[in-house]
């Protein structure tokens, strides 16, 4: 039994080895002697060409990708502008509050309130 199993294993190993040598062809010496370079292949000028339909399909795909990238970029810019505007609004509100506090130190409370209302009306009229 052991002799038969060994012979069957050796037969499969030999068949595998012969199949691998058949698939990889061994080239001889290159004429110019540069054996470290890969062997050259035949020049096929039409090998990289694609059909008109394929090129149009690729172009449409690129345009769709660019449109999506542009959309994402605009979305990001809008978010950035929104954050910047929120910061500016907070700073303006703080400055206005400090200004009214300074006015309240010098003037009467009712006069300050009246000026606030008047300025608010003027802001609404201007905008």
Query: When comparing pLDDT for 4 and 87, which is higher?
Result: 87
**What is d(CA 12, CA 18) in angstroms, rounded to the nearest whole number?**
10
Ramachandran sector of residue 33 (left: φ over 0; alpha: ψ -120 to 50; beta: rest): left
- Return left, alpha or beta for 96; rule: phi > 0 is left, psi -120 to 50 is alpha, else beta: alpha
Q: Binning pLDDT at 50, 70 and 90, where does residue 48 land? A: confident
- For the question of whether the overall pTM of this predicted structure is more than 0.75, the answer is no
User: In which band, very low, low, confident or very high, does the pLDDT at 7 lie, cut at 50, 70 and 90?
Assistant: low
């Amino acid at each position: 039994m052991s002799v038969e199993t060994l012979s069957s294993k050796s037969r499969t190993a030999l068949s595998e080895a012969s199949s691998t040598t058949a698939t990889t062809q061994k080239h001889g010496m290159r004429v110019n002697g540069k054996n470290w370079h890969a062997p050259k292949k035949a020049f096929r000028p039409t090998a990289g060409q694609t059909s008109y339909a394929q090129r149009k399909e690729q172009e449409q795909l690129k345009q769709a990708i660019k449109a999506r990238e542009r959309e994402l970029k605009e979305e990001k810019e809008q978010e950035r502008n929104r954050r910047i505007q929120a910061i500016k609004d907070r700073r303006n509100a703080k400055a206005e509050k400090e200004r009214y506090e300074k006015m309240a130190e010098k003037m009467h409370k009712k006069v300050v309130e009246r000026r606030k209302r008047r300025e608010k009306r003027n802001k609404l009229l201007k905008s």
